[in-house]
Amino acid sequence: MAVKIVTDSTSDLPRPLAEELGIEIVPLSVQFGAELFKDGVTMTPDEFFDRLTTGEHFPTTSQPSVGEFVEVYERLSADADGIVSVHVSDKVSGTLNSARVAVEQANVGCPIEVLDTYTASMGVGMAAIEAARAANAGNDVARVAELTTEAITRCQTFALLDTLVYLEKGGRIGKAQALLGTLLRVKPMIILRDGEVYELAKERTQRKAIARLERTAEQFAPLEGMAVMYSTIRDEADAIAERLSGYMTAGNEPMVVQFGPVLGTYVGPGALGIGLLSAPK
């Protein structure tokens, strides 16, 4: 038996990679009108962004239910020495609370550690990857939780948005309220700090904004892990990943990952982001 790793779909963790590492992804939900979809399960990112830009309904999102977490914990516990559950910031989603309540209700015979990453998207994904590597190396649940908690302190997530409309409509603008008063055509940039959304910068052009995104990543180098996220402009994400590859530690390469439906609800089309894991000092 071994330690099992759980995360949620706001991690934007590619499912093939999650399966390879043995990470269980609990999906959040996104709803258009009366239609409800499971993030990354019954709706793909491309399907989501197509509907977001052409459909008549603005989507809403919801966290997994306590019962969904209970089912996952009970199923995994059958052959686990422990479970480490790694999730999106408690300040932007109720997902972590569902997981914590599920721990109290689940009928399991092993310890469960629930961790707040204080971030979102591939910042969560990087923490989950580190948890899985620690578990697959044979560490016990306490040590996996300890190593993951340390890795969380080295994870960062920041993004360049084409517009703040989606973040504002979704009620997730957090401490970046000041950006709402900026002039039209300013490219807003956000960063998650202590679990909340803050203003990172604002630039006048897309070219300058991408350069700022890259300079921000460089500040955290050397990088053990990095994912460049995009909603609808894959070519820009590929180019950023190529330019930043030199800041990776030996043997590591950047990933390019599409924002999933739940995160896409808030970042909107035309968004770019970076989730990274700095190397230990």
Domain boundary among 135, 152, 169: 152
Determine what percent of the chain is predicted with pLDDT higher than 70: 93
For residues 171 and 177, the answer to whether their CB atoms sit within 8 Å is no
Number of domains comprising the chain:
2
Mean pLDDT of the chain: 93
Examine the domain organization and report whether 136 and 192 are in the same domain: no
Q: What is the pLDDT of residue 171?
A: 54
pLDDT at 172: 53
pLDDT at 177: 52
Contacts by 185-190 with C-beta closer than 8 Å and gap 24+? Answer: 187/160, 187/161, 187/162, 188/160, 188/161, 188/163, 188/164, 189/158, 189/159, 189/160, 189/161, 189/213, 190/158, 190/159, 190/161
Does residue 44 sit within a domain? no
- Among 29-38, 159-168, 180-189, name the one with the lowest average pLDDT: 180-189
For 5-31, write each residue's pLDDT tens digit. 999 999 999 999 999 999 999 999 999
Q: Are 204 and 186 in contact (CB under 8 A)?
A: yes
195 and 147 fall within a common domain: no
pLDDT tens column, 233-251: 999 999 999 999 999 999 9
| Residue 244 zone, left/alpha/beta (φ > 0; ψ -120 to 50; rest) | alpha
Do residue 107 and residue 211 come from a single domain?
Answer: no
Same domain, 114 and 177: no
Mean pLDDT of the region 252-261: 97
Domain that holds residue 184: 155-278
* pLDDT given at position 130: 98
Domain at 93, CATH number? 3.40.50.10170
pLDDT digits (tens, 9 = 90+) for 42-75: 999 999 999 998 888 889 999 999 999 999 999 9
| pLDDT (0 to 100) of residue 163 | 82
Residues 55/119/95/241 CA torsion (nearest 10 deg):
50
pLDDT digits (tens, 9 = 90+) for 170-202: 555 454 454 554 445 678 899 999 999 898 988
Q: 179 in a domain, yes or no?
A: yes
Q: What is the pLDDT of residues 100-123, one digit of tens each?
A: 999 999 999 999 999 999 999 999
Identify the CATH number of the domain in which residue 270 sits.
3.30.1180.10
- Residue 144 placed within a domain: yes
Average of pLDDT values for 145-151?
A: 98
Alpha-carbon distance 242 to 256, whole Å? 10
pLDDT band at 211 (very low <50, low <70, confident <90, very high): very high
* Burial status of residue 254 (CB atoms within 10 A of its CB: 0-12, 13-18, 19 or more): buried
